[in-house]
Amino acid sequence: MTRILGIVGLVSALYAALLLTTPSARDVGNLMDVANLQGQYGIITLGAALVIIVGGIDLSIGSVVGCSAVLFGVTMKSGVHPYAALPLVLAFGATVGLVNGLLITRLKLQAFLVTLCGMFVYRGLARLIGGTVSRTWVTDPRDPTAHPEFDTPIRNLRSGLVGKDFLGELVFPGEFILLIVLALVLGFFLHRTAYGRYWYAIGHNELAAKYAGVNVDRQRVIVYVICSTLASLAGMLLFLNMPSIQADAGGSSWELFAILGAVLGGCSLRGGEGTAIGMVLGAMVMPVVDNFVNLNGMKSDGIPAVIGLTLLLGTIIDELLRRRNAARK
């Protein structure tokens, strides 16, 4: 509860600083843009947090986001209907998570190494699939691969998932609403089902969980599948938001945003701790900071330093709390 109150205070302070010092930030459209970016970051934060809860790590999230965005566009360009492309890309994400999970559980490879390799593999795969993918080919009469019949389905997806109308204007923060729905589902599994108890138990003490009859390997694979599937969903949302996606840049560093959101939201890097509401609140921080920096004309070069220092601070606090709890016992 202390951590939740702390992150609520941090988010409130950031919003106060943004709204009080930057008049243009009060525009409804800007606030909805921030909310949608929080939705995107929040979706990948949910997946990263689950992996952290079971004592793992996933550094391939950003590359999976970028690869999924490119794959979504290329798949539709090849003639696959947008409504059919969506589950295909989600299946790609699930397959990535399955591969990661099996390599970690069956071959007993370190999660850090497996997902670090995946970070390069899936970024390279995105480059092979297509360097830059845009939505202009849909209705461009000069493009022989154009599919004008896909224009309406893509607009419907943007309207339903992103909240943008046919003019590209935001009418509601669809991605933030989607995040809340997913967080509610995840919260139910975490706090009301046996799966959640298994995941917390594995993070707290893997050996004890095994002795209690938990199939640790199976649960770890499930968590990695969920994480990568959510990353693929975020990649498709990224494609629907942007006029074009570059394989080199799409989703770049998003794994850091996801891990940062999880840590700020109360997930212990040692595993076994974390709440759904904390994950959502933690994911809300960076978009507000980013909006503040952009609207005030500041250089964004220092944002990576902020992320690194925040993660370091979170690690220090986590270690101090662990030592205090150990001393009390």
Q: What is the pLDDT of residues 40-77, one digit of tens each?
A: 999 999 999 999 999 999 999 999 999 999 999 999 98
* 105 Cα distance to chain centroid: 23
**Highest mean predicted confidence (pLDDT) among 23-27, 128-132, 278-282, 320-324:** 278-282
Q: Across residues 92-105, what is the average pLDDT?
A: 97
What pLDDT score does 280 carry? 96
Domains of the chain (ranges; CATH) run 2-14+27-319 (1.10.3470)
> Taking 70 as the threshold, does the pLDDT of residue 151 lie above it?
yes
The first and second tokens of residue 294, run together, are 């952009």
> Taking 90 as the threshold, does the pLDDT of residue 119 lie above it?
yes
Give residues with Cβ within 8 angstroms of 87, minimum separation 6.
Answer: none
Share of the chain above pLDDT 90, in %: 57
What pLDDT score does 211 carry? 93
How far lies 128's CA from each of 122, 164, 173, 243, 246, in Å?
A: 10, 30, 33, 20, 12
What pLDDT score does 65 carry? 97
Q: Which of the four pLDDT bands, split at 50, 70 and 90, describes residue 139?
A: low
Per-residue model confidence as pLDDT tens digits over 163-221? 988 777 888 899 999 999 999 999 999 999 999 999 999 999 999 999 999 999 999 99
Overall pTM > 0.85: yes
Give residues with Cβ within 8 angstroms of 189, minimum separation 6.
Answer: 195, 196
Ramachandran category for residue 259: left, alpha or beta (phi over 0 → left; psi -120 to 50 → alpha): alpha
Distance CA 26, CA 19 (A): 6
Q: Across residues 232-256, what is the average pLDDT?
A: 91
Share of the chain above pLDDT 70, in %: 94
